[in-house]
Each structure stands twice: as structure tokens, then as C-alpha cells.
Amino acid sequence: MTGLNVVDHPLVAHKLTQMRRVETPSSQFRLLLTEISLLLAYEVTRDLPLRDVRITTPLTESDQPELVDDPVVVSILRAGNGLLDGVLQVIPSARVGHVGLYRDHDTLEAIEYYCKFPPMEGRTVIVVDPMLATGNSAAAALDRVKANGPASIRFLCLLAAPEGIEALRAAHPDVAIWTASVDECLNEVGYIVPGLGDAGDRIFGTT
């Protein structure tokens, strides 16, 4: 299996603890999510391919590295948009796709209601969703992305449940996962424990 990357950084751990607290209001939660996503984006892009280009500095000509291609970032609606802002601050030239999926409350299956992607053939695609819970939404989003012929795909989340990691590994063994934490388990209604609750509700102040 391609790697599971748990981003081990004191600032990530500290901010995540503040996000988990039930008393943290949406305004603060959003701010923390943007800050943490900057740090996660830094890690998930660590090995993006570079090529040397000839440039002219004020002093001389020189060969210097730049990204081979701008990556594509795909947000799984709606909570993915909470991670997207920070990722785009680090990679402002990225193009952005959205896929809308909701969980059927009874079956926990992912149902698609929206999908719009930029061209992604031959590109690196980073799929973002704060919570890797059952893995159903992530696997469905990756199916859609793969149908568009990217060169490689990475999955970036904030929290992952062991069950979600296993499900995503089984469905998409070629996709590496980056997360700030692997939590204990899913509860009987598919929430991550200890988790942080419903990420979409906490980002947008809904209930």
C-alpha cells in the first residue's frame, strides 16, 4: 500500500486539540482549520516534481527549480472547502474541482449530487476532506477523479478513522493519505471518536 502519512508537528497537534474542544466556536474553528491546512498542505506537496528553468536574476542568469505542473485540488463538499482555503494559500496557482457527496443516514453510502472538475489529465490531484470516516465518500470521489486520467492522486484529511483508512486502502491502494491524526474508531452512526463532531456543521455553524 502507498503510504499513510501522519503529520507529526507540535503546531498541528496543538491546533487540532483546540478544534476538538466542544466549546470552540465556528469562527475560531474555521480559523484553526485554515491555519492547520497550511501546515498539512506543506507536507502533502513536499515531493511534487520540479524542473530546472533558466531565469535572469538582477545579477546573472541561472538554472532554478519550479513546479513541473500546477496541481489540481478537489474538495469534497461541503466540509472539504474548509481545508481548501489554506491549501490554496500555499498553492495559489492550483486549479480547483468540487464533488458534492452526502451520506445516506441509513446506509452511510455516499450519494453524489454535484461534480465539476478542471482538466486533470496527467496532473497531480490532491483530494481534500477533513474527515476520513467510513471512507465511502472518499472512495467515491477518488473513483470520479480517476476517470479523468490524473498522473497521481493524494488524499488529504484532518482526522482519519482506522476503518476509513482500511476502506480507502482496499478501494484505492495507489492513493497515499495525509492526515493530522488517526483517531480511535467510528461510533455506531459513523462519527469519528474522539473526533471533533460534524466538520461541516462546525465550520459553517449549522446543526
Query: Which residues have CB under 8 Å from 39's CB, separation 6+?
Result: 7, 9, 11, 12
Contact pick of 131, 139, 145, 168 for ligand URA (by CB under 6 A): 131
Q: Does 204 bind ligand URA (CB under 6 A)?
A: no
Enumerate residues 69-88 that contact ligand URA by CB under 6 A.
Answer: 79
Count the site residues for ligand URA by CB under 6 A.
10
Q: Three-class SS of residue 128?
A: strand
| Cα–Cα distance measured from residue 85 to residue 33, given in angstroms and rounded to the nearest whole number | 9
Q: Does 199 bind ligand URA (CB under 6 A)?
A: yes
| Cα–Cα distance measured from residue 161 to residue 191, given in angstroms and rounded to the nearest whole number | 9
Contact pick of 36, 133, 142, 167 for ligand URA (by CB under 6 A): 133
Active site residues: 103, 107, 198, 201
Instruction: Tell the smallest beta-carbon distance from residue 164 to ligand URA (Å).
Output: 9
| Cα–Cα distance measured from residue 86 to residue 31, given in angstroms and rounded to the nearest whole number | 10
In the chain the first and final C-alpha atoms are separated, in Å, by 37
Task: List the x/- string, 173-192, binding to ligand URA by CB under 6 A.
Answer: -----------------xxx
Nearer to ligand URA (CB atom), residue 162 or residue 190: 190
Beta bridge partners, 62, equal 55
| Cα–Cα distance measured from residue 151 to residue 164, given in angstroms and rounded to the nearest whole number | 24
Q: Does 198 bind ligand URA (CB under 6 A)?
A: yes
Chain positions contacting ligand URA, by CB under 6 A: 79, 131, 133, 190-192, 195, 198-200
